[in-house]
Amino acid sequence: MRGLAMQVPNFALLRKERDNCRNSGQRCHRSSYASGVHSNPRFFKYFWWVFWNESPVDGDEFLTAKYRLSTAAATELVEKLGEQNEPYWLYNTKVPRLGSTIPFDPQSPQWQDIEWASAYDDDPDPVAEGDLAGHK
């Protein structure tokens, strides 16, 4: 995966990529519009969007809270798509966590109007495996 200027999810462009790679016999391209992940999973929670041929919608509507995935769910889907040689576009966002181990002051003006994730130990999402092991 590589970082690119963000492409808004678009079925027509994704299907064109899929047809091109399959017709050429090549591995399908994966595009990443995701930021790097902080090494300490207790500081930030990441939400992911994996746009692929069977996503429910495209456009800006796809990149909303309704369609975001946990780290574990996104990792599992990306692995499955790779095995099936399906192209996908990967997006993410990070949200600071609450809890006693964070290096942030939630009362600071810089954090006003920011979405906060639950503390790591209170987060019900499963722990991811692989490259993002430990993140929820």
Residue ranges of domains in the chain: 11-132
Q: Give the integer Cα–Cα distance in Å for 68 and 38.
A: 19
- Provide the mean pLDDT of the chain: 93
Q: pLDDT tens digits for 1-56?
A: 444 578 999 999 999 999 998 888 888 879 999 999 999 999 999 999 999 999 99
Q: pLDDT tens digits for 51-88?
A: 999 999 999 999 999 999 999 999 999 999 999 999 99
